[in-house]
Structure 1
């Protein structure tokens, strides 16, 4: 039989090959689109197992580190993608960080100066209070002694005056009898007069000492009150509390402008680079990749067959061998995946419940966050350890 002329022509041969390749590609797409549904449909054929797609993620979940203040820009990043970090480690700074640190340094210097000045003033005024109290104590101790001494002097003068008067009386009697001379009597009279003047002067001095004692006591109290008032003013004069509050505020602002690792983990991705503006989205993505787990997205129609403690097998072409694990938690919400989701584990037209699976050996998944995996949960087997923990 002779071949049609169409296929004998070179252009016809190329056209035929093109149609054949297009048919094969269309079949591959149809097969790929149906493969997931066929894989999940197998679970209905296996009453002792539930199949689902899933993903690998850190037990800490994926942490999106954002800015504490917005709008701003990233000034510096201290880490790169893949770096291991420790909890509390500084990962980067926003644009206003340097300014806040400078402002904090200025406020701390002002606080230091104010604290030193207040300390000096406090010491000086405390010494004034001490000096005033010492002066009052001196008045209370010394003035009574001076008064007592003056009273003793008066008593001595009184005694001498009384003796001189006795002698004068005797001399007067002798003078009247003509036995004593007038000169001796007049001399004795002068002594009595002088003694009376001395006693009067001593009494006036005693009154002055007593009056001065009362005045000194009042003045000492006034000086003490004045010194204490100056001491209290020196405490309130310097704005120590206000400066401390401003330093704390500047420090808090600087911390909000610092990206800090909330957990031990690894930097998975950098969303915003130095110099770029910060929006409402994350700057860094991190997670504790030392402890990985699988999250299976089980169809809502199959979730009733899944329970905590059941064993599971996790497989992917990226893994050299299937991994095993056990169900440790079942989600409480049914949701529909968004077909536009950028998560590589996302699926379209799926109403699923998340099931968390603890891996027996998570080592092969340390650097495979968000890896899409095939999960098969054995609904007839329960991990003994989990079963014992779940039992009352």
Structure 2
């Protein structure tokens, strides 16, 4: 009897591969899980290393002591310190010794001036800039010329011509008056002579009339001629008085000519003043720090040139309000900055009277940016001024050593 349910070993069997795949999959699962933990392990190790170098816990410091290693021993760069820091061991020692340390900046004496257009220059453009950045100029030196200068020069020439015309008119009036005066003097002399002759004729006629030689009509005519001659003399005298220095009426023409000349002189002065509006001059001796415009441009409200006396440099420092009482005029100050090859020295010459908000901010992101400070001015000595002449607005760190502390040393 044949059993159909029994497996037939003589029949070929097909391998589907299901059992082998599942077996390989089960064997590969632990390895893939390990791979997933590798990035996490690296991140944890990196974070721990950075935190260890920055905070340096007691265990890490003990390890360094035992091995003789030190952080950053294989590099010239400092580890875990702020970028561009200016705090050194000397700074810490200075603070411990009682010095006042403050941030500040280098500025020329009296600060940086922004040179603007002259009043009334209007919409004039820059025609010429005869100076360059870094030039030292004296008071009154032309820093810039404007394109309105040709028209203003023409106005000056026109005013000069008007003065010449007014002067000629005055001379003409004066000569005319002089000639008229001479002529009237001659007429007066002639009238006086005629009056003398008429009076003599009247006396002779009266004598003849008394002897009945001439008639009454002839006497009356002689009297009339004598009286007329006297009136003519009086008229000539009155006319001549018009040319005297005390007669306002006689000098009316001269006065009018003088007023016209004075008006022309005022017009010339006005034209010359307007001509000065076509140039920009240095208000004091100083250095051209920056050019804010170029030829052909119309200057804005920001001005034309930044200007300052860099031969006498100062430092504007901001002192915390709780430290200002430790400073006195005359205190010695040492100034340092990474851009300087050597220290600068100066003397405290001015202490502000107003407590204000801090304007000079340190690069340290943890710095207090809302501190209350008093601004003081440090005047640099001659050598330090030369070193700082080309470093306007450089941020510096100042060390104030009160004079009392120096005297105790």
TM-score (norm 1): 0.69
Aligned to 1:111: 163
Aligned pair in 2 of structure 1 residues 38, 231: CA closer, same or farther (>3 Å)?
Answer: same
Say whether 1:54 aligns with 2:54: no
State the shift of 1:330 in Å: 0.7
- Checking the alignment, whether the CA contact within 8 Å between 2:127 and 2:295 is kept in structure 1 is yes
Say whether 1:121 aligns with 2:173: yes
Instruction: In structure 2, list runs of 5 or more residues that go unmatched.
Output: 1-33, 37-41, 55-71, 73-77, 362-367
Residue-by-residue CA offset, 1:310-349 (whole Å, 9 max, x unaligned): 1111123333321222111011233335589xxxxxx955
Aligned pair in 2 of structure 1 residues 383, 117: CA closer, same or farther (>3 Å)?
Answer: farther
Q: CA RMSD in A?
A: 4.1
Greater shift, 198-207 or 43-52, is seen at: 198-207
- Checking the alignment, whether the CA contact within 8 Å between 2:104 and 2:360 is kept in structure 1 is no
Residue-by-residue CA offset, 1:203-240 (whole Å, 9 max, x unaligned): 63343122232144235525754997474135326633
Task: Provide the secondary structure at the position in 2 that maps to 1:128.
Answer: helix
- Checking the alignment, whether the CA contact within 8 Å between 1:107 and 1:243 is kept in structure 2 is yes
Aligned to 1:176: none
Say whether 1:244 aligns with 2:244: no
Aligned to 2:83: 32
Select the residue among 213, 229, 234 that pairs with 1:196: 213
TM-score (norm 2): 0.66
State the alpha-carbon separation in 2 of the partners of residues 109 and 28 from structure 1: 80
State the alpha-carbon separation in 1 of the partners of residues 83 and 340 from structure 2: 20
Aligned pair in 2 of structure 1 residues 37, 316: CA closer, same or farther (>3 Å)?
Answer: closer
Select the residue among 295, 302, 323 that pairs with 1:302: 323
Aligned pair in 2 of structure 1 residues 38, 367: CA closer, same or farther (>3 Å)?
Answer: closer
Residue-by-residue CA offset, 1:67-112 (whole Å, 9 max, x unaligned): 1234432122221111111112222122323222211221221122
Aligned length: 327
Aligned to 2:288: 267
- Checking the alignment, whether the CA contact within 8 Å between 1:157 and 1:199 is kept in structure 2 is no
- Checking the alignment, whether the CA contact within 8 Å between 2:191 and 2:229 is kept in structure 1 is no
Bigger share in helix: 1
Aligned to 1:74: 126
Aligned to 1:376: 399
Instruction: In structure 1, list runs of 5 or more residues that go unmatched.
Output: 7-11, 163-194, 341-346, 385-392
State the shift of 1:63 in Å: 1.4
Greater shift, 325-334 or 69-78, is seen at: 69-78
Task: Provide the secondary structure at the position in 2 that maps to 1:239.
Answer: helix
